[in-house]
Structure 1
Amino acid sequence: MDLQNLTFFQMAQERMDWLAQRQKVVSQNLANANTPGYAAKDLKEIDFKDALSRTLAKDSQSVAVARTDPKHLSGSLPKSGPYRVETVRRPYEYTLDKNGVDVEEQMAKAANNRTQYEVAANLFSKNINMIKTALGRGGS
């Protein structure tokens, strides 16, 4: 049984991919917290209706991580596609060096990402156990 053919698992995988990409963007924001002129970025929120229609149409795009070396992750951020990076524009929150990164906000986003990722992973795991139980193999 291929779990990737089940809509729930496709959508859970897409959500987890989006959260992983968002964590990468938040990490880059935090890494540039003291860079003059750097503007914080964030990913466009997934539209559930669009994600569902892509999944049901079997036309969803998977997120591939580009690597420059097998041991390193790429530092590039997606400019288009389902996980588009957008610059956060809040001119009233800039520091004297024109840096737009609010460290507390970025830390809250990182914590929120972790929580949402854990929820998606737990749902994924619970559904696998439910399928195992239904097949008579027992869920653990």
Structure 2
Amino acid sequence: MGINISRAHDLMQNAMDYRAARQDMIAGNIANADTPFYRPRDIRFEEMLTQKSEAIFADKTQTLQMSRTDGAHLSGVEGTTSTKPTTFFRDGHMARNDGNSVDLDVESSEMAKNSTMFNALTAALKKDSALFKSVIDASGKTS
């Protein structure tokens, strides 16, 4: 069992793992841009991370009820119970004559967004770890 730096540390590490898996999946889509009948794949993990975040940070003693000011309003929906990321086919684009539906512009854009999020998570983890290290260093100094 390792040292628990903060409640958010494990969540950020999980997010980085999923971002790395998504980067690999997008790279695979780009690599198969000329493969006949290839359908681009993607991974959805934000809902799962949201659930983990709520489990870590939520005050379980208090719940906020959704207000319904009209009988026609929809009632609140309970969150999903899945703890695994969802893999799906991204088929919003026209397939070419060979049946391939990879759009290099979309894949490049998704890769850039994913890379930016990965870099932000890396910076946040470094800052979180540096703060923990500074506390240890300060506690080791004698007056």
Distance change (3 Å), C-alpha of 1:30 and 1:131: same
**AA partner of residue 89 (structure 2):** T
The count of aligned residue pairs is: 114
**AA partner of residue 96 (structure 1):** N
Which residue of the partner structure matches residue 126 of structure 1? 127
The alignment partner of 1:93 has SS state of: coil
Q: Over alpha carbons, which structure has the higher Rg?
A: 2
Q: Displacement of 1:114 after TM fit?
A: 1.4
Which residue of the partner structure matches residue 85 of structure 2? 83
Answering whether residue 110 of structure 2 is matched by residue 109 of structure 1, we say: yes
Distance change (3 Å), C-alpha of 1:101 and 1:126: same
Answering whether residue 128 of structure 2 is matched by residue 135 of structure 1, we say: no
Residues 15-39 of structure 1: CA distance to partner in whole angstroms, max 9, x if unpaired? Answer: 1011011011101101110111111
The alignment partner of 1:86 has SS state of: strand
In structure 2, distance between residues paired with 1:81 and 1:136: 37
Residues 20-73 of structure 1: CA distance to partner in whole angstroms, max 9, x if unpaired? Answer: 1101110110111011111111001321431225657xxxxxxxxxxxxxxxxx
**AA partner of residue 132 (structure 2):** I
In structure 1, distance between residues paired with 2:89 and 2:83: 16
Q: Displacement of 1:108 after TM fit?
A: 1.3
Which residue of the partner structure matches residue 75 of structure 1? none
Q: Does the Cα contact within 8 Å between 1:10 and 1:55 map onto a contact in 2?
A: no
Unaligned runs of 5+ in 1: 57-79
Which residue of the partner structure matches residue 22 of structure 2? 22
Q: Does the Cα contact within 8 Å between 1:21 and 1:83 map onto a contact in 2?
A: no
Structure 1 segment 8-47 matched on structure 2, within 5 A: 8-47=8-47
Greater relative contact order (CA < 8 Å, ≥ 6 in sequence): 2
Q: Does the Cα contact within 8 Å between 2:5 and 2:132 map onto a contact in 1?
A: no
The alignment partner of 1:136 has SS state of: helix
The alignment partner of 1:42 has SS state of: strand
In structure 2, distance between residues paired with 1:52 and 1:131: 20
Measured on the aligned residues, the alpha-carbon RMSD in Å equals 2.5
What is the TM-score normalised by the length of structure 1? Answer: 0.70
Q: Displacement of 1:135 after TM fit?
A: 2.3
